[in-house]
Chain A
Amino acid sequence: MSASSEGRVAAEASITLVPASRFTIEQLTAAYNQTRVDYLVPMPMNAARLAEYISLYDVSLDESVVALDGPEMLGLAMLGVRAGRGWVTRLGVLPAARRRHIGRALMDAAIANSDRLGLGRILLEVIKNNIPAYNLFVQCGFAPIQSYAVIRRPPGPPAEAPEGMAEWLDQPAALALLGRRADQTTWITENDSLARTDHLQAMRVRLADGSAGWAVFQEQKFRGLSMLLSRLILRTEAGDPHRVGRQLLAHLYRRFPDLDTQVENVADDDPHLGALQAMGFFESFSRIEMHRFSPSLPGARA
């Protein structure tokens, strides 16, 4: 973290901000979980999951910030760093420490670090209806860009029989398909995030009428056994996305009828959303992606 962002918060002289790299993953995990204990969607993590999260999403602990009051950790904000962009994530303040402007101080420090690194744009996601957080981000200069849904499908066979044949592909082929994407994605669904994901697979379908598409997904394992499908991405190369999407999902769940599925960040204008719903997905909750362009960096919006 920069020297400029390390120091006392004007609002409360007892609070200091220090780089997250001063703490162990276990300490950061404990603090993170405590900040979420009263959330509607707490999303707790263990140390292994947080370490994986930090690695997959290029979180820099040197540029991430922890708020302290003496030795006590009161809150944290993590900063992911990629070419020209930053991503604020895991922001939280302990329930007992709220209303002391600590969240604002953490955000200011993360923004200052992003600006110092010359990142023209900062992204973040906020759960829809988390009004205090949304308002904080607006005050910090962020504007809403897009809504995304986190969706689930419980185990079960497909609602319809698949047509044609599916071609099942390995991780390198999956990454090659992802490389074709030209549309905007979120931090956690972009190729930099997926490139280091374990057990990524893909499937291609071509239908008799010439329709075609592909799906990329992760088969997560627990104790060596398949547990969950995640990181599902559907794309239509030819034909109607609703029809192609249904067929991709029909093939997927004929092969994996016993697995639960969770998919993060499906855009509310994704052309496959109807197919996902028709094949048994329902929304768990929604997020709003917000961006802030650095006013000090000319051309940041380019």
Chain B
Amino acid sequence: MPNILVVEDNADSAELFRRVLSARGFTVQHAPDAETALQLALDSHPDVILLDLGLPDADGQTLATWLRRIPELNRVPIIACTAWPEETARQMVVAYGCNGYIRKPINVARFADQINAILAQGQA
């Protein structure tokens, strides 16, 4: 099953994501900030990165830019997770090379399916 790196500074949200995704068979790693995320991504080469756009040390767009500049990580799917308005979220995703986005608050029942659907689009 996919190894997913959840980059999320809010501990409650991160725990919710972990429970929901673990129950659907994902192997979940968690990074609370950009620096940890970068290190974990380099160490573990996740299959997909779920990226909160608001992080305490560098924002998600900047982290996405960085990940895209690292050859061994630049093909890892990145899914933005944000409370930004729909149009802004869409604009950010396209501009920063993300593969898709999921709006917060998440729909627990659909969350894993949304991630799988975005991953399937990338494989099509």
Chain A positions near chain B (C-beta within 8 angstroms): 29, 33, 37, 39-46, 48-49, 152, 154-155, 222-223, 227-228, 258-260, 262, 282, 284-285
The answer for the CA separation of A29 and B59 in the assembled complex, in Å, is 16
Give the nearest-CB partner of B82 in chain A: A40
A227 touches B95 (CB 8 A): no
B56 touches A282 (CB 8 A): no
Size class of the contact patch on chain B: 20 to 34
Q: Is B110 positioned at the interface, with any CB of A under 8 Å from its CB?
A: no
Residues of A within 8 A of B97 (CB): 154
A33 touches B83 (CB 8 A): no
Within the complex, the shortest CB–CB distance from A16 to chain B, in Å, comes to: 27
Give the nearest-CB partner of B68 in chain A: A155
A42 touches B54 (CB 8 A): yes
Known contacts A40-B83, A45-B56, A284-B88; decide if A152 and B69 are in contact (CB<8 Å): no
Within the complex, the shortest CB–CB distance from A154 to chain B, in Å, comes to: 4
B88 touches A154 (CB 8 A): no
Within the complex, the shortest CB–CB distance from B74 to chain A, in Å, comes to: 12
A260 touches B56 (CB 8 A): no
Give the nearest-CB partner of A129 in chain B: B85
Residues of B within 8 A of A282 (CB): 91, 95
The answer for the CA separation of A259 and B83 in the assembled complex, in Å, is 24
A44 touches B96 (CB 8 A): no
Within the complex, the shortest CB–CB distance from B16 to chain A, in Å, comes to: 13
B56 touches A49 (CB 8 A): yes
The answer for the CA separation of A284 and B62 in the assembled complex, in Å, is 14
The answer for the CA separation of A42 and B57 in the assembled complex, in Å, is 13
The answer for the CA separation of A39 and B10 in the assembled complex, in Å, is 12
Give the nearest-CB partner of A29 in chain B: B56
State which residues 69-83 of B face A: CB under 8 Å: 69, 83
Q: Mark B13-40, 1 if CB is under 8 A from A, else 0.
A: 0000000000000000000011100100
| From B56, B61, B65, B95, contact of A44 by CB (8 A) | B56
B57 touches A260 (CB 8 A): no
A154 touches B55 (CB 8 A): no
Known contacts A154-B61, A154-B96, A282-B91; decide if A46 and B69 are in contact (CB<8 Å): no
Known contacts A282-B91, A284-B88; decide if A46 and B33 are in contact (CB<8 Å): yes
| From B10, B56, B95, contact of A46 by CB (8 A) | B56
| From A29, A48, A49, A260, contact of B65 by CB (8 A) | A260
Give the nearest-CB partner of A39 in chain B: B83
Between-chain CB contacts (< 8 Å), 7 pairs: A29-B56, A33-B56, A37-B10, A40-B84, A43-B54, A46-B57, A48-B57
Known contacts A37-B10, A282-B91; decide if A222 and B65 are in contact (CB<8 Å): no
A152 touches B58 (CB 8 A): no
Give the nearest-CB partner of A222 in chain B: B58
Within the complex, the shortest CB–CB distance from B30 to chain A, in Å, comes to: 15
Residues of A within 8 A of B84 (CB): 40-41
Within the complex, the shortest CB–CB distance from A63 to chain B, in Å, comes to: 25
Residues of A within 8 A of B38 (CB): 223
Within the complex, the shortest CB–CB distance from A150 to chain B, in Å, comes to: 11
Residues of A within 8 A of B66 (CB): 222, 227
Give the nearest-CB partner of B88 in chain A: A284
8 further A-B contacts with Cβ under 8 Å, apart from A152-B95, A258-B65, are A40-B84, A41-B84, A44-B9, A46-B33, A223-B35, A227-B66, A228-B58, A282-B91
A227 touches B62 (CB 8 A): yes
The answer for the CA separation of A227 and B61 in the assembled complex, in Å, is 11
B33 touches A228 (CB 8 A): no
Residues of B within 8 A of A39 (CB): 83
B58 touches A44 (CB 8 A): no
Within the complex, the shortest CB–CB distance from B26 to chain A, in Å, comes to: 24
The answer for the CA separation of A120 and B38 in the assembled complex, in Å, is 46
B57 touches A49 (CB 8 A): yes
Within the complex, the shortest CB–CB distance from B99 to chain A, in Å, comes to: 15
